[in-house]
């Protein structure tokens, strides 16, 4: 079973959602490709260890503990078999810095034990989430309560958010954004890395990729790849293919074929897929 939950209203500028994946039938399998999106997650894992395979390299690792998965500059494939029970917090880009008092770029591309970031308090929360396994609304309340206690948005976060807003509106040249917010390019870069964990230039690339990904997913039989590349601001189709491969671990041609194939199939029953 896979379920999305909305956080409390004061958390929504920083937290995209909570999500729960849980199987009752055994064995069950969870398999997911995770593309580059500039977001971080907290994952409480009460089930089997899961494999993280790096799509841009021939390597993988296995995680059995609850962790923070920092914002990444490479795609992953996640696979978990056996008992599946995950409770997670999905942060918006830059949202994690509203809850942690350290430069977020120090967590980029890392999976960090939650106790290293939140101390013994996180273990208490972990235990209470496990005890409330059959009560998703109670799990949401516990997560809301914990995050609201840690919510403290620094003033500099608003400056980084202003930079992100210009990038999200399509002003993708960092020099133009710097002039718009009234800071030097170096200051903009420092502030953005501190709160978003990546550079503003890299975030502009993420936004462009996500726009192209959305076009492909929403209408896989639609515009040509060359047209999508042009509309989303790539130099040419070759540039689009290289960026897509770096952020998705596959080419846009193969991704489009996958979307067309899925469109021809009946919608998946997530509960059945998850083994519940």
Q: SS in 3 state form for the chain?
A: CEEEECCCHHHCCCEEEEEEEECCCCCEEEEEEECCCCCCEEEEECCCCEEEEECCCCEEEEECCCEEECCCCCCEEEEEEECCEEEEEEECCCHHHHCCCCCHHHHCCCEEECHHHHCHHHHHHHHHHHHCCCCHHHHHHHHHHHHHHHCCCCHHHHHHHHHHHHHHCCCCCHHHHHHHHCCCHHHHHHHHHHHHCCCHHHHHHHHHHHHHHHHHHHCCCCCCHHHHHHHCCCCCHHHHHHHHHHHHCCCHHHHHHHHHHHHCCCCCCHHHHCCC
Residue 15 has pLDDT above 80, yes or no: yes
pLDDT of residue 273: 32
Domain membership of residue 276 (yes or no) is: no
Range of the domain at 186: 155-262
In this structure, are 89 and 183 located in the same domain?
no
Identify which has the larger pLDDT, 125 or 78: 125
pLDDT of residue 28: 81
- Work out the mean pLDDT of the chain and round it to a whole number: 90
Domain membership of residue 74 (yes or no) is: yes
Q: Which of 116, 150, 184 is the last residue of a domain?
A: 150
In this structure, are 127 and 18 located in the same domain?
yes
pLDDT of residue 81: 86
pLDDT digits (tens, 9 = 90+) for 84-98: 899 999 999 999 999
pLDDT of residue 263: 65
Residue 259 binned pLDDT confidence (cut-offs 50, 70, 90):
confident
Q: Which residues pair with 18 in a beta bridge?
A: 5, 89
Domain membership of residue 112 (yes or no) is: yes
In this structure, are 131 and 60 located in the same domain?
yes
pLDDT of residue 240: 96
Residue 212 has pLDDT above 60, yes or no: yes
In this structure, are 162 and 245 located in the same domain?
yes
Q: Which of 150, 179, 204 is the last residue of a domain?
A: 150
- What CATH number does the domain containing 174 carry? 1.10.10.60
Residue 11 binned pLDDT confidence (cut-offs 50, 70, 90):
very high
In this structure, are 39 and 172 located in the same domain?
no
Residue 123 has pLDDT above 90, yes or no: yes
Residue 264 binned pLDDT confidence (cut-offs 50, 70, 90):
low
- 1-5, 94-98, 115-119, 125-129, range with the lowest pLDDT: 1-5
pLDDT of residue 165: 96
């Amino acid at each position: 079973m896979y379920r999305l939950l909305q956080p409390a209203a004061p958390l929504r500028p920083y937290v995209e959602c909570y999500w729960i994946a849980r199987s009752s039938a055994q064995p069950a399998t969870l398999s997911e490709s995770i593309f580059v999106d500039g977001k971080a997650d907290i994952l409480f894992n009460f089930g089997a260890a899961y494999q993280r395979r790096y799509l841009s390299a021939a390597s993988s690792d296995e995680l059995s503990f609850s962790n923070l998965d920092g914002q990444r500059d490479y795609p992953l494939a996640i696979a978990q078999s056996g008992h599946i029970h995950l409770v997670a917090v999905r942060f918006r880009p830059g949202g994690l810095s509203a809850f942690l008092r350290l430069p977020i770029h120090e967590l980029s591309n890392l999976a960090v034990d939650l106790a290293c970031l939140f101390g013994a308090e996180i273990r208490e929360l972990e235990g209470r989430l496990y005890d409330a396994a059959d009560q998703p609304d109670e799990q949401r309340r516990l997560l809301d309560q914990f995050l609201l206690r840690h919510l403290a948005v620094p003033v500099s976060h608003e400056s980084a958010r202003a930079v992100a807003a210009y990038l999200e509106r399509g002003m993708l040249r960092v020099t133009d954004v710097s002039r718009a917010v009234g800071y030097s390019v170096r200051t903009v870069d420092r502030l953005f890395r501190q709160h978003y964990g990546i550079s503003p230039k890299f975030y502009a690339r993420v936004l462009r990729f996500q726009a192209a990904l959305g076009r492909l997913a929403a209408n896989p039989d639609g515009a040509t790849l060359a047209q999508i590349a042009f509309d989303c601001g790539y130099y040419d189709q070759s540039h689009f293919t290289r960026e897509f491969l770096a952020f998705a671990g596959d080419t846009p041609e193969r991704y489009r074929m996958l979307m067309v194939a899925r469109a021809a199939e009946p919608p998946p029953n997530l509960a059945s897929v998850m083994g519940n």
